[in-house]
Copies of this chain bind each other. A is one copy, B any other.
Amino acid sequence: MQGDRNKILVDSVKRLLRRNAMHNLRKIVEKTHAADLSRVFDFLTMPDQHRLFQMIPDTEQKGVLFSEMEEDTFLEFAEELALEEIVAILESMPNDDVADIIGRLPDEKSDEILQLMQKEDSEEVEGLLRYEDDTAGGIMVPDFIALGEEITAREAIESLQKEHQDVEMPFYLYVVNEYDNLVGVISLRQLVVVPPQTPLKAFMTTDVFSVKTDMDQEEVARIVARYDILAVPVVDETNKLVGIVTVDDVIDIFRREATEDILKMAGVGEEFVETKSVLKSTRIRFPWLFASCIGGIVAFFVIGSFEESLKQFAYLAAFIPVIMGMGGNIGTQSSTIVVRGLATGRINVRELWSVVFKELTIGIILGVTYGVLIGAVAQLAFGKIALAIAVCGAVLSSMSLAALVGSLVPMAFAKINIDPAVATGPFVTTSIDVISVFFYFMIATTLLGL
């Protein structure tokens, strides 16, 4: 297991730091990939982080570490580093990662860094910082290979040998016309297998996918995944090629977005909190529970208003959990399906009514089924048909309503461009709780004549 290896690594590093066994520590650092070292950092004190960091022999590896560190860990860590050292490391990194990191730093610090960087790099980074973080422009790398249509395969190979050494993922070569508009693409592989004198335009693929700089990153990721490509070119409003989004960033987007959605649905913020301190986690989890607390207090007043009925027939209370539970659970099912469906593109926000109608139908079918089942239990327990009908009716209305609210709220949120994952948490759960209980007591008191 990868996890096991991490644990072993963390334990060894900690032990060696404690023993001050610098020689052995240096050996471990040298043979460990920076992506693995970054996980160790979360478990170390600040001084130990710096001791370990200074042992990394290679500036590029330090750059990988920068990219892989948790945002909070990095910010605290960077506080203690000399600006010159940060600049040297940033200059060894791909510029899209540099833009990400600089975007996280306080403005003052990032300005100083940009001034210290080589002009060419800092201009590129500033160019990237112009775009929104979560758009194609914000995640693209400006390092790509673009060649003219008339160039031959041999000339293209020569240009690869002479320049473009810093291109991160040179698997596609883009072909542009005199206005820098994207007109075709060739793979490195095609370049190698055609006769050397063939001009690029004779064998390039003209049917090339591209995305605009302002396209949402999830949308970009879905395109890369759908067409199984390794990079997608990004063009500006004049159709000029300005960058590419590579598949490694796409993987990160998918993983991050999935984690974000899952955490948001459960009301635990957007970022993974388990690695944070107990107090920080508590603070992040507090507000969602507060929404649920308010809902519970409202339900308390609702039930309180039926005190007289409860006094006459105390058993009414015993059905509260099953009615709330059934409503809550089917509501969670509906909203989860909608949220994940929207995220993966299986559900389209334009299908609002057909999705909601389908969920409502399922809610009614399941509501009738469980209403009859739970009503039958009530009948067996009390032999009071009015109570059985009231329980059945309450389960049915609670479940249908929950399926309706659970699907409608996230669909409606998506329609007005609010993240539907947020809707699944407090809104849906809390309102279903309150409404279920209210319906139950209304139906029960009416039918039982209380």
A interface residue numbers (CB < 8 A to B)? 1-4, 6-7, 33, 35-36, 157, 160-161, 165, 169-171, 188-189, 191-193, 219, 222-228, 230, 247-248, 250-252, 254-255, 258-259, 261-263, 265-268, 272-275, 278, 281-282, 285-286, 288-289, 292-293, 295-297, 299-301, 303-304, 307, 310-311, 314-326, 328-330, 332-333, 336-338, 340-341, 344-351, 355, 358, 361-362, 365-366, 369-370, 373-374, 377, 381, 429-430, 433-434, 437
Contact = CB atoms under 8 A, between A and B. Distances in A.
B351 A7 contact: yes
Contact of A281 (B251, B268, B346, B362): B362
A192 B160 contact: yes
B318 A272 contact: no
Contacts of A310: 310, 314-315, 317
A1 B220 CA distance: 10
Given A268-B337, A300-B318, A374-B297, A259 B344 contact: yes
Contacts of A192: 157, 160-161, 188, 191-192
A122 B345 CA distance: 35
Nearest to A429: B329
Nearest to A220: B2
A247 B247 CA distance: 8
Nearest to A322: B296
B266 A346 contact: no
A286 B300 CA distance: 30
A318 B169 CA distance: 62
B193 A337 contact: no
Contact of A333 (B258, B266, B318, B322): B266
A329 B255 contact: no
Given A227-B35, A282-B365, A289-B370, A2 B321 contact: no
Contacts of A348: 1, 3-4, 6-7
Given A300-B321, A325-B433, A362 B225 contact: no
Contacts of A316: 317
A367 to B, nearest CB: 10
Contact of A324 (B165, B307, B317, B324): B324
A272 B344 contact: yes
Given A3-B349, A325-B296, A251 B250 contact: yes
19 contacts: A3-B348, A3-B349, A35-B227, A36-B226, A171-B188, A171-B189, A263-B336, A274-B358, A285-B330, A285-B362, A289-B370, A292-B325, A295-B321, A300-B319, A300-B381, A304-B318, A310-B310, A310-B317, A320-B320
A361 B278 contact: yes
Nearest to A316: B317
B4 A350 contact: yes
Contact of A278 (B247, B265, B362): B362
